Structure 1
Amino acid sequence: MAASATPLPAGAFPADLVPALLELSLAAVLLLRPVYGPEGAEILDFVVDYLNPAAQRSLGQFGPPGATVLAHFPHLPASGVFAFYRRVFATAEAGRHEVHYQANGLDSYFYLAAQRQGPWLLVSFTDTAAQLRSPIEEALRASQARERITWVEAERQRQRLLGLIMQAPVLVAMLFGPTHQIELANEGLRHAFGARPLVGRTYREAAPELAGQHFFEQLDEVFRTGESFQADEQRLCLDRTNSGRLDPGYY
């Protein structure tokens, strides 16, 4: 039968025991102080008053004294961790939270425990990257890594295609909705309209001189039917200099 631990008598704890435990602990420990909004009710952030060595190894240095959690980890609200911190502090009820955090140079599963301690929030967490993972966890992480690689490659190709479109020696616009709001206009189109503002405006707002030239009616028909339209040498008059003078062209 295992012997039970014998508690030390009251007042018998050495003064340097807690600092030594914090220095030795393999678990990260943070002491956070809330930052309130102008009315003093809503917690907007937490100042990091203390990190033990394990927390510094896991998270890195927080910079100058008084640095805040969100300044160092701006993506924390999206992960649910910031809401967890605020809830524990507001209710004074200890809580636990698990999160897969993938931002700010981190990519790991964290187990967190938090408890209000007077004016501070005491947080302890472990980074599972330093622990053995089950085959399911390993498979999940491998799948997520493949997804990230696929996303990065897709984004690279998208940016390359966008660059080609923007520099193409033709007029290109991407329109949205029945009002034909301009979401993208390449350099050729901008030049054709005298570098006037185009993106974010409807085509009718951006190029009112096209009214009465059967251009907008063609756009409406394509949007309504879903059928493409093609024309060769269609004559359109544009205000290329934004002076009110219409110059004919064939498109």
Structure 2
Amino acid sequence: MSEDTESTDRIARLRPAYQADIAAGWERFFEPRRTDCPWCGSQELTTRLRTTDLLQHKPGRFVLDRCEGCGHTFQNPRLNEQGLDFYYRDFYDGLGEKQLGDTFGGRTKMYRGRAESMLPYDSAPKRWLDVGTGHGHFCAAAREVLPHTVFDGLDFTDGVELAEREGRVDRGHRGSFPDLAPELGSHYDVVSMFHYLEHSTEPDRELRAAWETVRPGGHLLIEVPDPESRCARFLGRWWLPWLQPQHLHFVPVANLRARLTEMG
């Protein structure tokens, strides 16, 4: 059976479930709209963006509000658990697994650069936890830079299980980072979150999980899209990192620094 035929058959099998979800109404995928900022509590909110799903073209309209008090930008109303399941389905796994795997697998140079950014601070970390690792392509590339480092991955999709089977991570942890943090302990020299925080429902809880997991004197690497960038302002709703409806929070760097300083 050809790859195209197999894909067509899989789509046909999935279609009834999607049709049933859509017929039930996409409004049920959202929580009530917030009237205050989830980061600082301010009620000075303005609408930054209105858009649709520009990648998968699933139904729905999405709004990003900006807090005039601290600059935090967030999806409002936010997707609930059902909504996250519906819009993530077949993007990172299922129908989209191969395409996304090929895309991420082709970014070796970028992944090596991320690993090399640690060298001035720790040239030989013993254990590294990559949170939101997906299919583990970063860890596989980072091994070329740090061959003696143990790389573990964590993700809430089954991509992390694939990453472990393929040998891209030494150990894969599947689930919520805040829920798993207590059992992971504070024994990682490095914890990385590359384009992960914007997907989380509560970024503050994720930062506290990192604080629990990294050892004293260890390092936390965070990479997030910047909604104040020139490209974001120029391209408007067509700026790819908005990635609606998957990206729930856009935390300004100043806010991250302040919160991490508070946490010590």
- Structure with greater contact order relative to length (CA < 8 Å, sep ≥ 6): 2
TM-score by length of 2: 0.17
Larger radius of gyration: 1
Which structure carries more strand by proportion?
1
TM-score by length of 1: 0.17
